[in-house]
Structure 1
């Protein structure tokens, strides 16, 4: 029985946020497209923190999880992660590029743009390119696996929405963050084009406004302002992994069935 191999880059330490909620949602799933369980690599910059988190996660239906050291800003770290996945699993079926940042305390806009671009765009590009060979590798038993890349983006990266006064975040600035997520949309489109002939499905996923510590936020405060429980985007991302949004292409897919134009 060949497990579906998933790698997800999670927030610092892997002990919070949308990435962790996605891991939890997958670990409790019994609805993989081919009926086989998941093995999830939880990619954490701090390996020990990642291991501590993975050890406490509840699993069901034969699903498993292990931590792997992954710093998407480090070519060596990414290459080492590829070597680990190849040695242990021989292939990768789903890559979820979830790690991303937004800094509110950086006052130099050019420096902020450069820093965010390195993490939000170059990081996913580097990781995807490095894992491409494993993504194109099928199980040795000859039973084909569906292959997917999910870039976790934001509706703030929608260029069309930026100019729409009815858009929920129309009056929010965040220019550097918006620009990096718009670039991630182009990266998604390029990966969709480049890998179409290989049958790899490529998605841009907006997790919505979730009550997490992302960008220095206080979950208790943002929840009162309308932010959703991070379990909501976790389940939504699992739905993409399991093919429930395959009919929506060339758009940013979001929670609650919403979509946004690139």
Structure 2
């Protein structure tokens, strides 16, 4: 058990935003001068997870454990939660980062794929790891955990309904309707967990949504194309996740935060 670190789990962390956020957090010092976090890399591909963990440990001073985690699979999620319980006994931070934009032929298929990962998968992972985030029942312990959802301004109903908003129009291939629907639903998921477990109600969790904004990653198919369009690298968007984890957004729980501040629902 790594008792001097805060165990932190990312879903979908072998590349892009999750990778960059993990790298930044591994470089965050704790009271002893060592890395504050022990990062658990949730990855669908075990081999890629091991390779990414080794790479991150070579770049940053903290420690990393790869974790087989497919958010669409009840079995792997349950097994991952059991492994974390056995090795660490608790989880201090959960970042629901795994997400997808589907390029399927029909709207129904795209919606099903987006919903399965961006909504159902998020709830599946959160429910499985929630007992590890919460203090043991009856212990009287006051331990504060963090629950972070990676959302999108494209899921903002306010922006979607305002012709003057940068979020008014969908972008084919980048932010199709089905993706926006799933991210709007994710906002409600976050709010429900915030209302039930948030510190404002005397609960033990700080609950946020972080919007990394558009970044040049493979999430939309081609990172190089994004760079040519002038999009920032994932290390920029990853800072929105980092702020929710390290306390820079404390006091703003139950809200969605991005580069421009609070994002309206």
Q: Answer yes or no: same fold by TM over 0.5.
A: yes
Matched residue SS, 2:29: coil
Alpha-carbon distance in structure 2 between the residues aligned to 1:227 and 1:36: 30
* Displacement of 1:145: 4.2
| Number of equivalences | 251
TM-superposition CA deviations, 1:81-133 (whole Å, max 9, x none): 00100010000010000000002x32211121112101100001011011111
Q: What pairs with 1:1-262 in structure 2 (closer than 5 Å)? A: 2-10=4-12, 14=14, 16-30=15-29, 37-57=36-56, 58=58, 60=60, 63-103=62-102, 105-137=103-135, 145-173=143-171, 174-196=176-198, 197-216=202-221, 218-255=222-259, 257-262=260-265
Q: Which runs of 5+ in 1 are unaligned?
A: none
RMSD, matched Cα: 2.1
Taking the aligned partners of 2:16 and 2:119, their CA distance within structure 1 comes to 19
* Bigger mean CA offset, 169-178 vs 126-135: 169-178
- TM-score normalised over the length of structure 2: 0.88
Name the SS for the 2:216 alignment partner.
coil
Whole-angstrom distance in 2 between the partners of 1:31 and 1:168: 39
The offset of 1:215, in angstroms, is 2.4
Name the CA distance, whole Å, in 1 between partners of 2:19 and 2:179: 22
2:39 is paired with a residue whose SS is strand
Q: Could you list the per-position Cα deviations for residues 180-218 of structure 1 after superposition, in whole angstroms to 9, with x for gaps in the alignment? A: 0000000000000111242201111111011001121x2
**Aligned counterparts of 2:104 and 2:42: Cα–Cα separation in 1:** 26
TM-score normalised per structure 1: 0.89
Q: In the TM superposition, what is the alpha-carbon distance from 1:36 to its structure 2 partner?
A: 6.7
d(CA) in 2 for partners of 1:40 and 1:165? 41
Q: How far off its partner does 1:25 sit? A: 0.6
Structure 2 alignment gaps of length 5 or more: none
Runs of at least 4 residues of structure 1 off by over 3 A? 58-61, 142-145
Local SS of the residue matching 2:232: coil
Q: Secondary structure at the match of 2:164?
A: coil
